[in-house]
Each structure stands twice: as structure tokens, then as C-alpha cells.
Chains A and B, each alone.
Chain A
Amino acid sequence: MLDVDAVVVGTGAGGSIAMRELARAGLKVVALEEGGYLRPADFDQREDHMFPVLYQDGGGRTTEDLGIRVLGGRGVGGSTVHNTNLCKRTPDAILDLWARRYGVEGASAADLEASFTSIEKDLSVSEIASDDINPNNDALRRGALALGWKGAVLRHNRIGCQKSGFCELGCAYDAKQNALKVVVPQALAAGANLYSDVDVRRILVERGAAVGVEGVAHDGVGSGKRPVARVRVRAKVVVLAGSAVGSAALARRSGLPDPHARLGRGLRMHPGGVVAGRFDESILAHRGIPQSYECTEMLSYEEGSDRRVWIVPAFAHPIGTAATLPGFGAAHMRSMRAYGHLAVLTAMVHDETSGEVDVDGDGEPVIRYRMTERDRVQLAKGLVACARILLAAGAREVTIPAVPPVRVTNARELDALDTSFVRPFSVPLSAVHPMGTLAMGKDPRVSVVDSTGEHHQVKGLFALDGSLFPTSLGGPPQISIYAFALHLAKHAVAAAKR
């Protein structure tokens, strides 16, 4: 039993900032992390070793209907440990939409400027140097330029990058300036305490206020987990920062008041599919910085837009590639032999679909997400756009991994392509950016927390992670999560001092 001022559940972008700011305010803080505390020496660049420890459900988490693979992080640092370091601020149009449509207050671009600037400085965010763009990203850049499409070099948080290409398996060189390396140590230095391998099972609520959490400390992962102790923390403030999936699942299994049936609803996650182009020349896309260029030709942040696709490179190591390419057996292996000559792009949908995070009988997350027809059309447009880019960049053949696979060798074939086959289950889809299950807003009928991040019905309970966002961002969420957590942490501090 621990008795503190504030307890933070989750230690990714949002949780690490929350624990740091609470500790810097002189408060007694403890953070609880479901996964382990891994260090650079633990990241051995092996997919089969790292997926089970860095990803929820060993990387095998899917929507309930199995249609979309949902990759979320676990462990100290959360998804910032395995992400590809993209740093893009929340678009102004999205912030305006949240203010206009959801009544979010105090979160305009001007309001957030100081928080963005501060976190970008902490994480040493800078633009990728042009000569650090690897051949896979260069294929995207060349293709976009040839088509006259909009694109840009991305900004990252990395120093001393060895360009090994193993970002998604954790950085063995400690070059990622992420929550694990930068923010968590700052929090610990400020006096916060952190316990890893603690699975928080319930938020404790008394008389309409959060008063702590309880959970189980364990050894191991998955069903190999061995409970070693019960953990109970009493606190004046509880901060949820376990991702839009984890935070919503915890809130749901805790039976929090939900008078307007909003808890866990409104899930967005940027579902995306991939397209592979085979080039005559060697690409070796697995080497170098995985994502350094974006194409935004088909991306508008305006509400209801019919241009809602964000295109970036997506390349995987052998296991990820094998799982994505269509077919099996000898034909599949023949496709794999082209590995070194493949450039791969992904089209992520800036989605309108509203999914849901629920829990099953064991209290584990259940993700429901049925893509709307409007989003399906965007996905199809995006995959065709990826194919056009690859052809324009000089690909000899482009494959959309459907069953049966769609292969084209020129733009005329794309013009004639019936894309009605593009939908979940027919093309492999994955999602890496869950958002929006504890959405902020003014009106409790359409939101779960207010503009300070505090729960509408449960005082002292804050959400400071991607679950806050009322809509999709249309881009990488990490800097938005860090910045919103920093921007709102003062309210959690004030509540803990009440």
C-alpha cells in the first residue's frame, strides 16, 4: 500500500510528462507501468525477441473481428520506445475543429505554442538531413516530385542515430530522444517513483472522486505472467496515460460513471494498408531511417474532406514483410526473394470511423472498429496513390497485397482499377495510432473529460494521453500527446494540491 499525492498509470509520452510535472511541483508521485523497464542493451534488433516485450499482446493485438492489427507499446516509455520518431505538431485546423465542434477550451495553436516548443527542445527535435533519406524514402520523394505532389522531409527526435533501421525494435544505440531516455529520467530526478511490471486493474473511486488504483505486480509477459504482489496506491489524483486502448479499458473495467455512454467510444486509429514496388536497383529499405519523408497531396484536415490520406514509407524486417505479402508457400518465398528490391509505402486514413474500446469477461481490452464506407474509399484512394508514386519513381511492378494480389506495371492499369476490393480482410490493415476514447470537450454528452483533462463525473481523475483527442489527428501523435500532457499537467498538479 502506497500513499501519495498522485499516481500515474502508464509511462509513455503522456505519462512520463505527467509524472515529471507532478514531481517538479513538489508532489509525491508514483507511476505504474504494465510492461518492463528495458534499456538499450536489451534491444537486440531481433523481431522475434522484441515484439513480445515491446508490443501489447506480442504485436498480435487486433480488432475484435480480426480485420485490423493494432500495434500499441508496452514498457517504460510506451510507444515512444518503438515508434519511428516522427514529430509533427497538431495541425491548426484540427485544434480549431476541436474548439468549434467539441468546445475544447484553451487549446489553440497559440495556447499550445509554449508546450510544443518546450517538448521539442527537450527531445532535440530537428529536421532529418537530406542525405539521411534512405532509398525507400527517396522513392517516395522522387515519385511525389515526379507527379507534382506535395511532400516534405519530416522532423525527428534523434541524436547520434546509427541509421541501422531497427527503430521499431527499440534503439540499441540510445539515439532516440524519447520518454524512456529523456523524460522518465527527468521525472525520477525530480523525485518521482516508478514501478514497472504492474498491471493496474481498477481505479478506486469514493464519493465521486478518484482516490487511487489497485493492481498486480508480476513477472513475465502474457499468460506466462506470474503475480508476485498486489499493489494498492492511495492518491488524491489519478492520471490515466496507458494509451487510448489501455486507459479506456481500465476506465471501463473500473465501472466509472458513464451517464452518456461515451466512455471508450470515439476510437480513431489511422488504419493503413501498404503497397510494395519492385525496383531493378537495390533498395535495401530495411537500412537507414525508416520514415523521413511524407506525401500530403491527399491530406486535408478540414472536417468532412474527401482527401484524408497520409502517405509515408513503411518498411519492415523479414517477419513483418512476410506477414504482409500475400499468399503462402513457394509462391510467397519467391516474392520474398525480391526483398532487397522492394520499396514499400503506407496510406493511413485520417479516419472518421468511430470505434470503441470495451473489455471482455477477463477485463482485457476488446477493440471494435468497423470502417465506414467513406473511410474505405479513402483507403482505396490512398493505396492507388501509393502505387502511382512508386510507378512514378521507377518501380517495374507494384503490388497491392490483396487476395488475390493486385499487380500493375503502369499508371494506365491503375486508372482502370476497380478498387472495390479494398476493405478490411481483403487487404492487410494495421493501425498504430489509437486516439480518442476518453475525448475532451465541454459537453459531457459528447465527451468524457473536460478541457483540463479531468473526468466530467469523477474529480481528481485525469486523462493525459492520446485518448484525449476528440478526432483523428491525421499524422503522428507523439508530439501532440507530449505537448497536451505538458499543457494540461498544471491542472493535475492543482488538483493534487487542493
Chain B
Amino acid sequence: MKLPRLPRLPRRKVLKAAIAFGVLGATGSLVALVRSRGYEVPQDVRGKLVGLEAWQYVVVQHLARRVCAGDEPGVVTPDEADVAGFVDGYVANMAARMRRDLGRFLGVIEQLAPAGLAMSSRFTHLEAADQDKVLGSLESSSSDLLRGGFEGLKALLFMGYYRDPRTWRILGYDGPRVEARP
């Protein structure tokens, strides 16, 4: 099932419109209120986020578990590779405009994309199989914006995963030839 077709508009207009028209379920300020509640970040991360808000961190953590899921038992997991932690640090160094857009897109995935598949729960409350359906709908969406956004997010998550030398063994990649430098 595909998400409803969105009009072709510049990306930021679409994301702003999504908020302005209440498709995320509230006005911008209410969305912020909803987003900030009900998201439990791990104890060791709490208070230490530098780029992501707590709700965004949780969404990224769930996304990483599906996008970077292993194909067999025993491969390093996205949590072990601390993909969400990497994204938090990476986002802190992104230009403000890109960071805003990413935050909005995470909001769309969390709130809007499941609704597009007639799922009543937000993304982070879905079972893994349903989360995969949501991601599949984004990847094959008729909306260029959603497809493009998903590809960008996917690249960021894979950067967080495949930067971990333990993942290189999966590929037979021998890694840098220069010694690690401080």
C-alpha cells in the first residue's frame, strides 16, 4: 500500500505544510508537546544528547534497528554500533536548515507515515514487521519528497552502522591502512 500522493512542492514547504495543516495531529506547538512526552531515552544517554531531541533519538533508534537489521544471528546490532548516538553527534554538526528538515522528516515518519497505511499507532509503537511496511512505503512512495527523504535518512543510518569496524567483517572490508589517529 502506498502513501497518498502529495503535491510536488519544495521540500521545506511540504514539511511546513504537514505541520500547518495538522496532518501530524496538532499545531506546531502541540506537536512539540506531544513529541516531548512518552519517549524514554536510555539512562546512559539521558541529558547527554547534543543534536537530537529525546523523541528524535528514540525514533532514530527504532529506524536504525529496522534499516540496519542483520541478516543472520550474531552480526553486530545497530544498538551495539550505537547508530543513534552517532546520528546525534552528526546532526549536531549539520547546518541548521538541514537539522530542521531532518527533525521534521522524523516527525513525519513517527506520526504521519503509519497513518498513511491506516495504522493507528505511531512508528515507535509498531511491531517490527509493521515498521518495515512503513519504511517500505516510504522507499516506494509516489512522493519524490518522501522517497528522497528516506534515501537521505538511510544513508545517515548506514553511516552510523558501517563506520563500526566490527561490521566490516561482514563485508570482507579491511578498513583504513593508516593507523588510527587521535
- CB atoms of A223 and B95 under 8 A apart: yes
Residues of A within 8 A of B178 (CB): 43-45, 172
Q: Mark A136-171, 1 if CB is under 8 A from B, else 0.
A: 000000000000000000000000001010100000
Tell me, rounded to whole Å, the shortest Cβ–Cβ distance linking A316 to chain B. 11
Look across to chain A and name the residue whose beta carbon is closest to the beta carbon of B176.
A45
- CB atoms of A224 and B170 under 8 A apart: no
B26 within 8 A of A: no
A408 within 8 A of B: no
Partner of A318, one of B97, B147, B168, B181: B168
- CB atoms of A52 and B90 under 8 A apart: yes
Residues of A within 8 A of B94 (CB): 57-58, 60, 222-223
- CB atoms of A166 and B173 under 8 A apart: no
For the complex, count residues of A whose C-beta is within 8 A of B: 54
Residues of A within 8 A of B79 (CB): none
- CB atoms of A328 and B139 under 8 A apart: yes
- CB atoms of B69 and A60 under 8 A apart: no
Q: Mark A29-47, 1 if CB is under 8 A from B, else 0.
A: 0000000000001111111
Residues of A within 8 A of B28 (CB): none
- Give the docked Cα–Cα distance between A64 and B13 (Å): 11
Question: Assuming the A-B contacts A322-B161, A340-B171, are A62 and B148 also in contact, with contact meaning beta carbons closer than 8 angstroms in the complex?
Answer: yes
Residues of A within 8 A of B49 (CB): none
Question: Assuming the A-B contacts A60-B152, A64-B11, A223-B94, are A44 and B162 also in contact, with contact meaning beta carbons closer than 8 angstroms in the complex?
Answer: no
B117 within 8 A of A: no
Tell me, rounded to whole Å, the shortest Cβ–Cβ distance linking B74 to chain A. 12
A336 within 8 A of B: yes
Most buried by B among A52, A65, A329, A426: A329
- CB atoms of A224 and B181 under 8 A apart: no
Tell me, rounded to whole Å, the shortest Cβ–Cβ distance linking B88 to chain A. 12
- CB atoms of A46 and B176 under 8 A apart: yes
Look across to chain B and name the residue whose beta carbon is closest to the beta carbon of A165.
B177
- Give the docked Cα–Cα distance between A64 and B132 (Å): 27
Residues of B within 8 A of A332 (CB): 67
Tell me, rounded to whole Å, the shortest Cβ–Cβ distance linking A310 to chain B. 24
- Give the docked Cα–Cα distance between A403 and B99 (Å): 26
B93 within 8 A of A: yes
- CB atoms of B140 and A403 under 8 A apart: yes
Look across to chain B and name the residue whose beta carbon is closest to the beta carbon of A51.
B159
Look across to chain A and name the residue whose beta carbon is closest to the beta carbon of B181.
A44
- CB atoms of A328 and B66 under 8 A apart: yes
* A64-95 CB contacts (< 8 Å) to partner B: 64-67
- Give the docked Cα–Cα distance between A25 and B171 (Å): 53
Number of A-B contacts (CB under 8 A): 146
- CB atoms of B170 and A44 under 8 A apart: no
Look across to chain B and name the residue whose beta carbon is closest to the beta carbon of A45.
B176
- CB atoms of A360 and B90 under 8 A apart: no
A100 within 8 A of B: no
Residues of A within 8 A of B145 (CB): 65-66
Residues of A within 8 A of B176 (CB): 44-46, 166
A221 within 8 A of B: yes
- CB atoms of B172 and A362 under 8 A apart: no
How many chain B residues sit at the interface, stated as a range, is 35 or more
- CB atoms of B159 and A166 under 8 A apart: no
Look across to chain A and name the residue whose beta carbon is closest to the beta carbon of B150.
A328
- Give the docked Cα–Cα distance between A425 and B180 (Å): 37
- CB atoms of B144 and A286 under 8 A apart: no
- Give the docked Cα–Cα distance between A222 and B91 (Å): 9
- Give the docked Cα–Cα distance between A222 and B94 (Å): 4
Residues of A within 8 A of B158 (CB): 319, 322-323
- CB atoms of B71 and A164 under 8 A apart: no
* A155-203 CB contacts (< 8 Å) to partner B: 162, 164, 166, 172
- Give the docked Cα–Cα distance between A45 and B163 (Å): 11
Tell me, rounded to whole Å, the shortest Cβ–Cβ distance linking A173 to chain B. 8
Tell me, rounded to whole Å, the shortest Cβ–Cβ distance linking B165 to chain A. 10
Partner of B159, one of A47, A65, A172: A47
Question: Assuming the A-B contacts A319-B163, A322-B162, are A340 and B149 also in contact, with contact meaning beta carbons closer than 8 angstroms in the complex?
Answer: no
- CB atoms of B148 and A425 under 8 A apart: yes
Look across to chain A and name the residue whose beta carbon is closest to the beta carbon of B162.
A318
Residues of B within 8 A of A64 (CB): 10-11
Residues of B within 8 A of A426 (CB): 147
- CB atoms of A66 and B93 under 8 A apart: no
Binding site for B on A (CB under 8 A): 41-48, 51-52, 57-58, 60, 62, 64-67, 162, 164, 166, 172, 220-224, 286, 317-319, 322-323, 327-334, 336-337, 339-340, 360, 362, 364, 403-404, 424-426, 428
Binding site for A on B (CB under 8 A): 8, 10-11, 66-71, 75, 86, 90, 92-99, 132, 135, 139-140, 144-145, 147-149, 151-152, 154-156, 158-163, 167-168, 170-173, 175-178, 180-181
Given contacts A60-B98, A66-B11, A327-B139, 12 further A-B contacts (CB under 8 A): A51-B159, A57-B94, A60-B155, A66-B148, A66-B149, A318-B168, A323-B155, A329-B69, A329-B132, A337-B71, A337-B170, A360-B97
16 A-B pairs, CB-CB below 8 angstroms? A44-B176, A47-B162, A51-B159, A58-B90, A58-B94, A60-B152, A62-B148, A65-B11, A65-B145, A66-B149, A222-B93, A319-B162, A322-B162, A323-B158, A327-B139, A362-B96
List the 4 closest A-B pairs by CB distance, nearest first. A66-B148, A45-B176, A222-B93, A323-B155
